[in-house]
Amino acid sequence: MKHLPIFILTAVTLPVTAQNAVVEESVVDVVCDSRTHAIQNFKEVTTILNEHGADLATFVCSCSKNDKLTAFKGQVTDSSGRVIRKIKESELKQTEYSPYLAIDDYKVYYDYTPPVYPVTITYEWAIDSHDNLIEFPSFCPQTDYDVSVKRASYTLTAPKELAVRHALQNIDKTVNVSENSNGSQILSLELSDLPALKYEPYSRPLRERLPMAYFAPTDFTYYGTQGSMKDWTEYGKWEYSLINGSEILPDAVCHELHQLTDDLKTDREKIEALYQRLEKTTRYVAILLGIGGQKPASAADVCKSGFGDCKGLSNYMRAMLKEVGIPSNYITISTSNRRLLKDFASVGQMNHVILQVPLQGDTLWLECTNPQLPMGYVHEDIAGHNAIEVSKAGGRLVQLPVYADSANLMHSKISIQLDSKGAADVSLLQDSHNWQYENNIPLMKMDEKDRHKTLQRMIRVPQAEIGRMDVKEDGATITVDAEVRSQRYATVTGQRLFVPICPIHNGYSTPPTLPNRQEDIYLKAGYLDRDEITLTIPEGYDIEARPNDISIEHPFGRFSFTIRSEGNEIHIQNSLLMKSGTYDKSLYPQFIEFIKTVSSIYSQKVVLKNNL
């Protein structure tokens, strides 16, 4: 299952739709009376215009033992303003099943499907929060494409002595700070007439385009702990206080670790041995308990139970490394946010933990949640992302490495033995590396039947009969070795055979033209595809027509195609390099033309004529 080119994954043409919904009013009103208590009041009035906006009719609220829903009411009106549904708090449902082993959080929700369109839905609710004010609710009135906002407001009232920080994203207004008659500070922000964001292929993730505002206290009390979020350094000190002392292991385990590693010569060998031990002796289970889900389980507890979440498993690996004399750093990171706000430290920007192991001349990044990955492999969900290195000295903003585009290589060697009736025996030897390897990992866990189905989707071979398929993994490389028989590989027309030149690279879709494109072109993942194809033609046939060689290059990609004949063999070479990065929106027409060209060449045929 090859890592499909970016323009296959993201260039699916979406139906052109009108606006789906209008947020008539969005209100967030937070009243904080101390460092440990606040009442959060919310109101959302949304007009849903068609079925594409139906998801906005559902009410969902996150709660916990420290966040209690204390008030709720809902109402649905039709286009004339007639009330067609009133929703009571007693009708709300609560999530009863969780795939996690232990979790404090739960969802309160109400599913509603509008019977007609348009409808206007109003939800009002309040949350009582205590002992967990490490940050206040964020402000994000616009949550999806094709949704406009008429009015939105955010108000935070807090004691004057409580220092409150804020940060804005995609908002050109400033937060107003004033004081009420009681001497409390009031931070307020109002937005109006936000136009709907339109989906554009190859643009930044929606999260990076939305207008958002963040608010948080500088000093906080969180589940009984004290800390500061003045900057990332202070954040790191608090995080370190949660893990410090939790790396102590039982004596018997320490003895086992030394037996495993003492005879190994290098630190890298020792790390490899412990990483393999982590894979064999633990499994991932999310645990959102303890200090609001921020504190990892102790290394001793993970060792005893054999399970842990990203925090617990990373801390356990840290403990094992420490026991054998190898220092490492606890790393908090986001799998969704590429960039952290440099001047606004907050826990809500991260959702994952990994481990960093500094070595002489190198740095290893260990994904302890999935130690089946090769040691030190930086997977696509975190590669290039900002992260916070946590140590006794505090937090330090770092950035994970990214593999060079050309290192994300898929190299295919294909042999096609063609007969005069158009049937062919096709052999495929394909190596996928790094991010292209990552997309093929599911193959390793499939049974033979599912592997064969996957191969049939990978190749452009009519009536494919899979004769053999072997899949092997070696580090960050997966090799597919397969043999396929097709009774109708080539089309027979009289004395001629029309033969496809490339049996792979299926599914190309050209994105729509956008004459008024707003966003620059964004290509998240670069890669290199190299194909070496040998087509053996039947006796008595000669080439009557063939595609021309081509070589094209743009800032965002490079493609070359060559074809030559040698006796009864035709040798074809393709090379496609897609370059990750951001490119000016003015290049979009060239980008579309580039995709069309590549797709058309992969789809071309050689015409063979029988001269006997």
Three-state DSSP class for residue 457:
helix
Q: Phi/psi of residue 437, each to 5°?
A: -60, -40
Among the listed residues 556, 547, 593, 546, the one whose alpha carbon sits nearest the alpha carbon of residue 576: 556
- DSSP secondary structure letters along 91-117: G-EE----SSSEES-EEEEE----SSS
Is the model more confident about 16 or about 605?
A: 605
On whether the CB atoms of residues 579 and 555 are closer than 8 A, the answer is yes
238-252, 456-470, 480-494, 561-575, range with the lowest pLDDT: 456-470
Mean pLDDT of the 397-425 span: 97
| Cα 391 from Cα 238, distance rounded (Å) | 10
On whether the CB atoms of residues 219 and 163 are closer than 8 A, the answer is yes
What is the pLDDT, as a whole number, of residue 554? 97
Mean pLDDT of the 320-342 span: 96
The most distant pair of C-alpha atoms in the chain lies apart, rounded to whole Å, by 102
Three-state DSSP class for residue 505:
coil
Indicate the residue type of 451. Answer: R
What is the pLDDT, as a whole number, of residue 289? 52
What is the pLDDT, as a whole number, of residue 462? 87
- The encoded tokens of residue 75 equal 């109402």
- Which uninterrupted H or E stretch holds 202? none
Burial of 86 (0-12, 13-18, 19+ CB in 10 A): exposed
pLDDT in tens, 35-70: 999 999 999 999 999 999 999 999 999 998 899 999
What is the pLDDT, as a whole number, of residue 444? 93
Is the model more confident about 287 or about 267?
A: 267
Reported confidence tier of residue 5, pLDDT bands at 50, 70, 90: very low
On whether the CB atoms of residues 47 and 24 are closer than 8 A, the answer is yes
**Which long-range CB contacts under 8 A does 180-189 form with residues at least 24 apart?**
184/157, 184/158, 184/159, 184/160, 185/157, 185/158, 185/159, 185/160, 186/155, 186/156, 186/157, 187/154, 187/155, 187/156, 187/158, 187/215, 188/153, 188/154, 188/155, 188/156, 189/139, 189/153, 189/154, 189/213
What is the pLDDT, as a whole number, of residue 12? 35
* Backbone φ/ψ region at 434: left (φ over 0), alpha (ψ -120 to 50), beta: left
Three-state DSSP class for residue 286:
coil
- Decide if pLDDT at 458 tops 90: no
- Decide if pLDDT at 97 tops 60: no
Among the listed residues 219, 222, 220, 196, the one whose alpha carbon sits nearest the alpha carbon of residue 209: 196
Indicate the residue type of 169. Answer: Q
Average pLDDT of the residues of the chain: 92
Going by the DSSP 8-state scheme, the letter that residue 5 receives in this structure is -
The neighbouring-strand residues paired with 552 are 559
Mean pLDDT of the 553-567 span: 97
What is the pLDDT, as a whole number, of residue 163? 96
- DSSP secondary structure letters along 524-587: ---EEEEEEEEEEPPTTEEEEE-PPPEEEEETTEEEEEEEEEETTEEEEEEEEEE--EEE-GGG
Mean pLDDT of the 512-540 span: 95
Strands (E), 249-351: 283-284, 287-288, 307-308, 329-333
pLDDT in tens, 236-270: 999 999 999 999 999 999 999 999 999 999 999 99
Start-end of H helices in 290-432: 299-305, 310-323
On whether the CB atoms of residues 239 and 330 are closer than 8 A, the answer is yes
What is the pLDDT, as a whole number, of residue 208? 95
Query: How many residues are listed for the chain in this entry?
Result: 612
Going by the DSSP 8-state scheme, the letter that residue 210 receives in this structure is S
What is the pLDDT, as a whole number, of residue 338? 94
Mean pLDDT of the 410-422 span: 97
Strands 106-110 and 409-418: unpaired
What is the pLDDT, as a whole number, of residue 489? 95
Reported confidence tier of residue 96, pLDDT bands at 50, 70, 90: low
Reported confidence tier of residue 203, pLDDT bands at 50, 70, 90: very high
Mean pLDDT of the 303-315 span: 93
Three-state DSSP class for residue 392:
coil
| Cα 74 from Cα 43, distance rounded (Å) | 10
| Cα 18 from Cα 146, distance rounded (Å) | 7
Going by the DSSP 8-state scheme, the letter that residue 64 receives in this structure is B
pLDDT in tens, 161-199: 999 999 999 999 999 999 998 889 999 999 999 999 999
- Decide if pLDDT at 16 tops 80: no
Return the number of other C-beta atoms located less than 10 Å from residue 183's C-beta: 9
- Decide if pLDDT at 15 tops 50: no
Q: Is the peptide bond before 115 cis (omega within 30 degrees of 0)?
A: no
Among the listed residues 292, 257, 302, 353, the one whose alpha carbon sits nearest the alpha carbon of residue 134: 292
